Amino acid sequence: MKLFPHRHTTLTLCSLGLLLILLGVHGCGGGDGGGDVVVDDTGSGNNNGDDLPKPFQPRNNDTGVTLCGGNLFNTATCPLANFPGQDGDHGRDANTDTNLGGDGHLGFSFTKLDAAGNTLASDANSWACVRDEVTGLIWEAKTDDWGIHDGRIGFAWGDHSATSCATLTACNTDTLIAAVNSEALCGYNGWRLPKMEELQSITDYGQVSPEPLLDTDYFPHYRNAGGTIQTYWSSSLRFNSLYAWNFNAANSAVIFGSVASYLGVRLVLGGTSPGGTLIQQTGQTCNAAFPATTPNERYIDQRNGTVTDKQTGLMWTRCPQGYTFSDNASPADWSDDTCTQTDTVKFTWQAALQQTGILNAAGYAGHQDWRVPNIKELYPLAEHSCIGNLMNKLVFPSTISAAYWSSTPTGDNEVWSFETFYGYLTPSAKTLTRQVLWVRDAD
């Protein structure tokens, strides 16, 4: 049996370098886990060295969206001159080197694994796990045999409501995780509940309801016992121990629910984000007892109005459009940095896309490849340990409780936005006005 090595990256100003960090085996907790790990890469376990999960890299799955949105509909061929820089204009899905298919829809790339962790052909009829070749994460495959991996079964979050999985009718996620780790599914220990952005990472926004927003060739058995597309638990509690965040695979709704509710679970292996601190700021209430999802240590302050996210490899403007950044002379101190409103701060979606050309023509922070983020780039900025404003307000000092545009059109002629007061992902009419943060791929 092999214990799974969690990995993350460190980022310098000019380049990305992989740093192998061995983190802990998940016990029975509802969160990410911790402790020491022993890694067997000698080939003496169930897997040989070549089949070990790939090192985590700051690479993100694309959204699966390749069509562009215009004034009315989201069915146009990209690009659209009057709606420039949309999701469908860039990324793995738009790149002919990475969107050939055969191992997933467009830019997605998955590999099926058997119960021992061995690689299977893409057309295999039975598999136990799915390895995401873009993110390096390994996912539990669901079954329809009423065993412990059956996709129809719901679980209470953490140690709530149930103490046994003997009948699979009153089971919780702690007990499930312990059982799957004891089983050494696909030859590995360290299975855990996924973070919200990890659940979102396998979401295919190019699918249209009523189909699930998943590649069902790799992730079948997605309905609950009542026949409805599953909602899946994440590892994040919402501010207190009564509610936890979950993700609906039918429409990508990000919501929170009672920990006593019975929802779907899809366990995951690998990946991590830098641990660290988050300091509550005016306008938000944060619970220091819960792990921060966007700790200060996750970001590198470039001292020019931008930060680099070590978890994703993306560079962000610290202020939304319409604000001017000021670094108030204390390089080691985030708290004296400010964003001051100097211009219009809310835009229709078309106007937000068109503002990108102005920003790039000016060469903001020395770069000319800024864009409106897609929804998978935008949502990982959510700070799930807070309420009132789900953002790290030291890193992004002017962010108020507001909605922010993404570049991702929905399947219903709207556009995805991130609403920071409740932390929801919201389909928005293109004529509404929203704020916008800018992103680019870090050098």
Question: How far, in Å, CA of 429 to CA of 310, rounded?
Answer: 32
**Residue 22, pLDDT score:** 24
pLDDT at 342 exceeding the cut of 80: yes
Q: Are 397 and 338 in contact (CB under 8 A)?
A: yes
39 against 116, higher pLDDT: 116
- The answer to whether position 30 is within a domain reads yes
Range of lowest pLDDT (24-38, 75-89, 256-270, 355-369): 24-38
Euclidean distance between CA atoms 393 and 137, whole angstroms = 29
Residue 320 has pLDDT above 50, yes or no: yes
Q: Are 409 and 67 in contact (CB under 8 A)?
A: yes
- Comparing CA positions, the residue from 16, 232, 312, 268 lying closest to residue 132 is 268
Most confidently predicted of 187-201, 323-337, 385-399: 187-201
Say if residue 307 is in the same domain as residue 371. Answer: yes
Is 100 domain-assigned?
no
Average pLDDT of the chain, as a whole number: 83
Q: Is residue 373 part of a domain?
A: yes
**39 compared with 164, residue with greater pLDDT:** 164
CA distance 390 to 413: 27
Regarding whether 310 and 263 lie in a shared domain, the answer is: no
Higher pLDDT, residue 312 or 127: 127
Q: Judge if 244 and 317 occupy the same domain.
A: no
Does 197 share its domain with 298? Answer: no
Boundary of a domain, candidates 272, 304, 334: 272
- β-bridge mates for residue 314, sequence order: 309, 441
CB 74 within 8 A of CB 410: yes
Question: pLDDT-based confidence at 243, cuts 50/70/90?
Answer: very high
For residue 164, name the pLDDT band (cuts at 50, 70, 90).
low
DSSP for 274-308 reads --------TT-EE-TTSPPSS-GGGEEE-SSSEEE
Domain range spanning residue 308?
A: 294-441
pLDDT attached to residue 58: 52
- Domain total in the chain: 2
- Which among 27-41, 265-279, 289-303, 408-422 has the top mean pLDDT? 408-422
Statement: residue 123 has pLDDT above 70: yes
Domain assignment present for 139: yes
Burial of 347 per CB tally in 10 Å (0-12, 13-18, 19+): buried
At 292, is the pLDDT very low, low, confident or very high (cuts 50, 70, 90)?
confident
Over residues 387-434, the pLDDT tens digits come to 888 899 889 987 677 899 999 999 889 999 999 988 899 999 999 999
pLDDT value at residue 52: 41
Domain check: are 216 and 342 in the same one? Answer: no
pLDDT in the model for residue 275: 59
The answer to whether 301 touches 214, Cβ cutoff 8 Å, is no
CATH number at residue 415: 3.10.100
Are 161 and 226 contained in the same domain? Answer: yes
Cα maximum dimension of the chain: 63
CA distance 221 to 142: 6
Sequence-distant (≥ 6) Cβ neighbours of residue 198 within 8 angstroms: 135, 137, 234, 268, 271
Residue 214: how many CB atoms within 10 A of its CB? 22
In this prediction the pTM is: 0.85
Tokens (6 digits) for 182: 């004891």
Q: What is the rounded distance in angstroms from the CA atom of residue 140 to the CA atom of residue 130? A: 7
Lowest-confidence region among 55-59, 125-129, 172-176: 55-59
- Domain contains 85: no
Are 190 and 33 a contacting pair, CB within 8 Å?
yes
High-pLDDT (> 90) share of the chain, %: 62
Q: Which of 213-227, 252-266, 321-335 has the lowest mean pLDDT?
A: 321-335
261 and 309 in a single domain? The answer is no
Query: Within 13 Å and on the Cβ side, how many CA atoms surround 226?
Result: 8
Task: Please list, in sequence order, all residues whose beta carbon lies within 8 angstroms of the beta carbon of residue 261, skipping any fewer than 6 positions away.
Answer: 154, 156, 157
Are 262 and 309 within one domain?
no
Is pLDDT above 90 for 209?
no
Q: What is the mean pLDDT of residues 144-159?
A: 93
Q: Clarify whether residues 186 and 303 are in a common domain.
A: no
- Contact call for residues 409 and 368 (beta carbons, < 8 A): no
**Residue 186: what pLDDT?**
97
Per-residue pLDDT band for 332 (boundaries 50, 70, 90) equals: low
pLDDT digits (tens, 9 = 90+) for 24-53: 223 333 444 332 222 222 233 333 333 444
- Across residues 2-18, what is the average pLDDT? 29
Q: What region does 149 belong to: left with phi over 0, alpha with psi -120 to 50, or beta?
A: alpha
Q: Both 248 and 376 in a single domain? A: no
* Residue 406 within a domain: yes
